[in-house]
């Protein structure tokens, strides 16, 4: 199914009135039959077949941009309203306007902005959901994941894999810090698999050397000889901005990049070369000055944060302008292309997604737009 | 998280009024703040946190038994009501009473009974959803999967992996045949990934030798030297009852079996030893005469068909009696134990499940019942 | 390197007098220099380069047939000469005429015929070398591998993986039994890795049910749900002739077979689909009546035993006739093709090889003979 | 077999006069029998069994130190004696004194020092053997591997995997450069698998951007989104000294290190986390000021180059002093421990080994020295 030509090509007859689709006409005998079925917790498949077997996926979410200038003020306002001790986490979360039944930003992904002040510290807990963070501003923030304490700076990418004890804080001599959280809580719930636990001592005791994770695993092409890490997620829990941006610049010198994404790299588990966590992936991409990518679409949902620069994306024919620290999403199977509007500066997009979930289950399909030289027509 | 002791143990304080849970009290200032958030597609996480981060999973489905004596009559009745050409597939599907929004038997699994008469043949199609079948009665039934034609006999287990062209029929000299279908259509839809296509010629042309799949891959401990199979699912598409039941009998001679499931084996891809398809697994288990297993619970949903014998299962304290060809389900995280009520005959349960999905995403958790020597108290 | 076209093609200039080969001419100054190097445990690479970097592999062994009519008498004679208690194993081993420095039949593979009488039992030991057996005649023979006792019948294939305690015997009511042993002792030695240990109690105590390995793992397409096997070799230790031959017959109905080997299947680890042991593989192949395969060559050594029928093989232009129970070998990189001389009966070849070693290290190269319609010219 | 306790423990009775070993006494009847066997290319296993099944491995090589002050002068001398065009590669290779039949430095590993002058360029070729280099001095050196051109600086580690076209040179404005070559030529030959080919055009044409390999894959925790690399070896072909040494320093801040090797890391394939090539591995280790490690031994051979500092190693009771750029080897199954004799500076050892070969074949065994607090007694 990953070659979509014959399933999504324009020459496919998509009438439901053909052999291979359900085209049973209603009549009284059938109605009576349906009632009989209903009475014993059953139904006639041909009544629902066309609805539950659509020709192609229909996104549950709609594309949205959340402006940093709006979000930042609101999340800072919460500082005076609730404490981390009472709120658990002081997070303003993003609600996709099309989703009323679930707290999701896009697909089955949750996202929000969290804020903490110097000296604050939230209690430790764990859950089956996985979490990641992209730091937006501040100094002295840290996270503690299963006893590994890690310093966080602006634009660092950090993971909190499923089932790990974790807690966050800002040191006494730090600055008010804001970061974007990304979690698969909605996925974990829809798959009926969420667990939650509060740390028995309230907070973790740190006995390991600080930053042992990045100092041990944050090197290119080298791993400890005695690597006893046996978890299904990355032992490298922080991907620093400086190293990541330099990687992107280096790579940009020797690649033409992707036609759809410019110069793009994935954050990976250095132990396996695969995604850092089981359910969510993350990428960093660079759009060169004036770069305008071509459109493609694929299954899976993506949530972006603008790490650098400004531009716009066209999503299913609609233009969404963005600048640094804005957040936007591209729902499943929607055409999308990106534009860096600066002719002198590069633009960088951080993003996270549910692609590891989609790919592990064999659900990944991708399609390039062929018409109009690969570019969408933008709605007026 | 797969060691559940500290997350589900009885000594866990599950009050929401503690550090690590959200315990913010409402007031007017907060109400105003919430309204402000609402206006820009955001929300306060602490308002929903406890709800979306439950202490443990809550099943979307309830346990049900569907009686063969009821289902069989109803599905045979459909023979006179609709043709396979019009209905696509003549299937009476199982609706979990607790699910109103989705055509699911349990969790995100679909199941139903399909019936076809001699000479009938349904049109070929494909979809992103995976399918499997367990034959209940009849002669001369066949399936064609990506050009591989396979004969089907009673209690054979057959797979139709995602993205494969497939069609079913019964030969002119066969008998009316009934089988249970199992699909992950609901999962595919909830993950926004379903595609559907009708075969351009209506039906597949078979050029490969009949039964090439079981004749090539259905041997123990041997594989073709020139194995070019490169698909992510099993090249063995039919697991015959005779071989499978004999395997179970052989294994039963040398094992004590599982405390929770008796003598149980998984259907596997002979090329990898793993599950035959990416999203769903299937098992066959034998309960020895008078065997009464202990209770455990785990994430993931299971749908059973009684392949042989009679007995009952206790699911979350409720007793469900079953006999041959009855179908029942065990929703996620519900305690379950099985009983063979015959003191002389063995009982066999065929089952399929979503465990490959749950396990790939790191969501598998299992817990044994420790109280009352591992047995549930049955509700009056 | 697995595409050999440009490395072994006939159009390759193989003169050593060209750029890219060493073509330094000797003179007195160089001679003096070489002496100086010699004195400090060094040498000039260009002096040996052409010799140690040949254009293509040169086999260490030559092709041989060992006749069963000769071997059988000799091995039976040993019954009166030595006891298993004194000899350890009563084995007549095969010596490749070209190898004087090592006890190898072909390449770094050892092979021999072992004989045991009813009531005999050899002491238990283990070694880093892996072993396999193909039973030639007798009744009541058994092997015990790490406590798993397994009955052996004619033409069964059995493995004794590296590092396992093992011992063999024939029951009191059995018959004198002969089998072919295959081991990688020479490989283990040349790679400086052999260990040997005698069982502290002399013999193993068997507490597991007899034949638990084949009864648990000898089924097609099914594995125990609770499979705790975590060894790097197959949990299935016996591949019975009846099942294996039936597998070959089934497969022959739906395949054209390999142009070089007829209908050929590999013995595999049912847990992984890979080779049963880390260093050696084994195959069973069927040559249909009058079948004459085409010639190819590849790196890696093969030792064959004729399991059924009669015919001949052409190895590097030389004809080697064989009939049931004869043993012959094909050394690395030698052209070989096989002929079944019967026009009515099939012929079967059992074989074992070092291909898992060769392939794991990236050394596998294969080439088809293109001249003369793929057939070798036979030397007069 | 990887738990060596019962196979190498001191309490093992290693007499050959016990059940489980061959203890047949010679006599005339046996002598006649042996002659008869000899005549038909066979032998009696019990005659050779104890010899070919030793209690533990016996190294083919002996430990040696090659002094840089000696080697450097000799290899520079070759500049005037042969040209790269005639010699192929101007290499002075290391000959283990115990090996007379093969050009090996240790085990089945080849090593040598290569020298090239500004403007020199050797012809392109390929072979089944894998190669690696550790740069010792010079500027402007480069390698071209399958069209990827890479700059080489002092103490960089570079790979040339098996089957790749490769050539080396020094740019016109560079300096005379010396590096250590490591190859598995002896292994490739002993396993009868070596192929050699001269590039049809003499030299490769470089069309890829220079240093595309390290610029693409030399980043920590990030990989190209569009990674099409499908080779069984690392796409990262150069591991720069600066990054590698920094990695070691970072890791040293948060680890106690290995008791046997100090702070030690492996060079890895960033795509898999595994060894960079199929047959050979490489490591970099740091011995802290005055560090004296404990002794262990294991199967597999190691060749070291001192990258920094000075000290000594004790190998099977013999002391070998070393300082920067010296090369020494530790043969299989020999006890070894390392000492940094400086009380203020760290010492670094680069090393390469055949451990990937040994481990893939299941031959890896390791043992710690327990007596004398883990330290060997040094021979006078």
Cross-chain Cβ contact A218/D250 below 8 Å: yes
Contact B236/C221, CB-based, under 8 Å? yes
**Can you spell out the DSSP letters for A215-277?**
HHH-STTEEETT----SSS-S--EE-HHHHHHHHHHHHTT---BTTTBEEEEE--TTTSS-SS
**Interface contact C86-D24, CB threshold 8 A:** yes
Tokens of A280: 């969510």
Flag if A58 and B12 touch (Cβ within 8 Å). no
Averaged over D16-38, what is the pLDDT? 94
Residue D100 — very low, low, confident or very high, per pLDDT cuts 50/70/90? confident
**Residue B241, C-beta contacts closer than 8 angstroms, at least 6 positions apart:** B153, B154, B155, B156, B157, B307
Interface touch D59/C192, C-beta < 8 Å: yes
Which residues of chain C make contact with B267, given a CB cutoff of 8 A?
221-222
Contacts of B223 in chain C (CB under 8 A): 265-266, 268, 273
The yes-or-no verdict on residue B85 having pLDDT over 90 is no
For residue C307, give how far its alpha carbon lies from the nearest alpha carbon of chain D (Å). 21
> Residue A274, Cβ neighbours under 10 Å: how many?
19
Query: What per-residue confidence (pLDDT) applies to B6?
Result: 40
Instruction: Encode pLDDT of A112-140 as tens digits.
Output: 999 999 999 989 999 999 999 999 999 99
pLDDT band at D1 (very low <50, low <70, confident <90, very high): very low
Residue A10, pLDDT > 50, answer no
Residues of C in contact with D47 (CB under 8 A): none
pLDDT digits (tens, 9 = 90+) for C136-189: 999 999 999 999 999 999 999 999 999 999 999 999 999 999 999 999 999 999
Name the pLDDT band for C4 (thresholds 50, 70, 90): very low
B186 touches chain A (CB under 8 A): yes
pLDDT at position C296 is 98
Residue B5: pLDDT over 90: no
Helix (H) or strand (E) holding B76: helix B68-77
- The 10s digit of each residue's pLDDT in A332-348 is 999 999 999 999 999 99
Q: Give me the residue from A18, A40, A202 closest to B70, CB to CB.
A: A40
CB contact under 8 A, D192 and C91: no
Q: What is the pLDDT of residues C317-348, one digit of tens each?
A: 999 999 999 999 999 999 999 999 999 999 99
What percent of chain A is predicted at pLDDT more than 70? 97
Residue D9 pLDDT more than 80? no
pLDDT at A13: 84
Q: Tell me whether residues B52 and A202 touch, CB distance under 8 A.
A: no
Computed over every residue of chain A, the mean pLDDT equals: 95
Q: Which two tokens stand for residue C56?
A: 């293509």
Q: Is D206 on the interface with A (CB under 8 A)?
A: no
With beta carbons under 8 A apart, name residues in chain D contacting A217.
Answer: 220-221
Indicate contact of C with D: 3+ CB pairs under 8 A: yes
Q: Considering only CA atoms, which of D332, D260, D341 is closest in space to residue D303?
A: D332
C65 touches D at CB < 8 Å: no
Which pLDDT band, with edges at 50, 70 and 90, does D10 fall under? very low
H/E stretch holding D157 reads: strand D157-160
Instruction: Tell me the pLDDT tens digit for each residue of A292-325.
Output: 999 999 999 999 999 999 999 999 999 999 999 9
CA of A225, closest CA in chain D: separation in Å? Answer: 5
pLDDT digits (tens, 9 = 90+) for D101-139: 999 999 999 999 999 999 999 899 999 999 999 999 999
Contact C273 B215 (CB under 8 A): no
Torsion of CA C150, C154, C155, C161, to 10 degrees: 30
User: Nearest C-alpha of chain D: how many angstroms from C360?
Assistant: 7
The token duo for A155 is 């634009």
Q: Given an 8 Å threshold on Cβ–Cβ distance, is B20 in contact with A87? A: no
pLDDT above 80 (res A264): yes
Using one digit for the tens of pLDDT, what is the confidence trace for C188-246? Answer: 999 999 999 999 999 999 999 999 999 999 999 999 998 999 999 999 999 999 999 99
Do you know the residue count of chain D? 380
Q: Measured between alpha carbons, how far is B90 from B84 in angstroms, rounded to an integer?
A: 6
User: pLDDT tens for residues D54-74?
Assistant: 999 999 999 999 999 999 999
Which of A222, A249, A269, A286 should we substitute to test contact with D (largest number of D Cβ atoms within 10 Å)?
Answer: A222
Whether residues D198 and C42 touch (CB distance < 8 A) is answered with no
Q: What share of chain C is helix, strand, coil (3-state, %, to 5)?
A: 20, 35, 45
| pLDDT number for residue A11 | 56
Q: What percent of chain C has pLDDT over 90?
A: 93
Burial status of residue D28 (CB atoms within 10 A of its CB: 0-12, 13-18, 19 or more): exposed
**What percentage of residues in chain C have a pLDDT greater than 70?**
97
pLDDT > 80? residue C11: no
Touching partners of D (3+ C-beta pairs < 8 Å) = A, C
Q: What is the pLDDT of residue B11?
A: 57
C198: which chain D residues are within 8 Å (Cβ-Cβ)? 12-13, 18-21
For tokens 């005999």, name the residue.
C120
DSSP C360-378: HTT---EEE--GGGG-PPP
- Give the pLDDT score at D11: 57
Out of B220, B225, B261, the one facing C225 most closely (by C-beta) is B261
Give the pLDDT band of residue D199 (cuts 50, 70, 90). very high
- State yes or no: pLDDT of A9 exceeds 80: no
| Pair C25, D214: CB distance under 8 Å | no
Among the residue ranges A261-275, B127-141, C8-22, the one predicted with the least confidence is C8-22
* pLDDT tens digits for range B347-369: 999 999 999 999 999 999 999 99
For chain B, the chains sharing at least 3 beta-carbon pairs closer than 8 angstroms are A, C
Average pLDDT over residues A2-16: 58
Mean pLDDT value across chain D: 95
Provide the chain A residues 145-184 that lie in CB contact (below 8 A) with chain B.
Answer: 162-163
Cα(A174)–Cα(A374) distance, integer angstroms: 47
Residue C225 contacts residue B261 (beta carbons within 8 Å): yes
All residues of chain A having their beta carbon less than 8 Å from the beta carbon of residue B357 are: 191, 361
Burial class (CB in 10 A: 0-12, 13-18, 19+), A380: exposed
Burial (CB count within 10 angstroms: exposed 0-12, middle 13-18, buried 19+), residue D305? buried
Residues A58, B192: C-beta atoms closer than 8 Å: yes
Q: Residue B2 — pLDDT band, cuts 50, 70, 90?
A: very low
CATH superfamily of B65-374: Jelly Rolls (2.60.120.10)
Q: Which residues are within 8 A (CB) of A368 and not within 5 positions of it... i.e. 6 or more apart?
A: A259, A260, A294, A295, A296, A374
pLDDT band at D278 (very low <50, low <70, confident <90, very high): very high
pLDDT mean over A127-156: 97
CA distance B312 to B377: 14
The structural domains of chain C, with segments of one domain joined by +, span: 5-52, 65-374
> Helix, strand or coil for residue B305?
strand
Chain C contact present for D26, CB below 8 A = no
How big is the B-C interface in CB pairs under 8 Å?
A: 150
Determine, for residues A197 and B21 on separate chains, whether the beta-carbon distance falls below 8 Å: no
Contact residues on chain A for B361, CB-CB shorter than 8 A? 187, 191, 193, 278-279, 357, 360
Give the nearest chain C residue to D96 (CA atoms). C41
Chain segment C239-269, per-residue pLDDT in tens: 999 999 999 999 999 999 999 999 999 999 9
């Amino acid at each position: 199914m990953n070659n979509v030509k014959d399933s999504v090509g324009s020459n496919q007859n998509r009438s439901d009135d053909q052999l291979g689709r359900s085209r049973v006409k209603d009549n009284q005998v059938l109605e009576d039959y349906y009632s009989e079925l209903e009475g014993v917790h059953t139904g006639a498949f041909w009544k629902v077949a066309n609805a539950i077997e659509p020709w192609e996926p229909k996104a549950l979410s709609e594309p949205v941009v959340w402006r940093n200038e709006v979000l930042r003020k609101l999340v800072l306002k919460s500082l005076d309203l609730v404490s981390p001790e009472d709120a658990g986490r002081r997070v303003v979360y993003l609600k996709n306007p099309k989703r009323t039944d679930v707290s999701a930003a896009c697909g089955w992904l949750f996202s929000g902005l969290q804020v903490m002040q110097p000296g604050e510290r939230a209690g430790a807990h764990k859950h089956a959901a996985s979490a990641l963070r992209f730091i937006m501003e501040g100094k002295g923030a840290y996270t503690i994941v299963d006893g590994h304490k890690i310093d966080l700076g602006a634009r660092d990418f950090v993971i909190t894999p499923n089932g790990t004890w974790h807690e966050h804080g800002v040191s006494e001599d730090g600055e008010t810090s804001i970061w974007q959280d990304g979690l698969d809580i909605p996925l974990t719930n829809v798959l009926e698999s969420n667990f939650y636990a509060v740390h028995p001592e309230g907070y973790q005791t740190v006995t390991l050397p600080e930053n042992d994770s990045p100092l041990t695993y944050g090197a290119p092409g080298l791993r400890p000889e005695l690597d006893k890490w046996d978890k299904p997620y990355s032992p490298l829990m922080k991907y620093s901005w400086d190293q990541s941006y330099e990687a992107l610049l280096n790579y940009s010198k020797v690649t033409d990049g992707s036609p759809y994404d410019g110069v793009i790299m994935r954050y990976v588990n250095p132990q396996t070369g695969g995604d850092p966590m089981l359910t969510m992936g993350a990428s960093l991409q660079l759009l060169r000055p004036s770069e305008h990518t071509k459109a493609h679409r694929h299954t899976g949902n993506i949530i972006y944060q603008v790490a650098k620069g400004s531009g716009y994306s066209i999503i299913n024919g609609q233009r969404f302008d963005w600048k640094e620290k804005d957040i936007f999403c591209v729902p499943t199977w929607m055409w999308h292309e990106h534009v860096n509007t600066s002719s002198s500066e590069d633009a960088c997009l951080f993003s996270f997604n549910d692609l590891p979930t989609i790919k592990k289950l064999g659900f990944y399909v991708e399609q390039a737009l062929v018409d109009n030289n690969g570019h969408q027509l933008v709605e007026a």
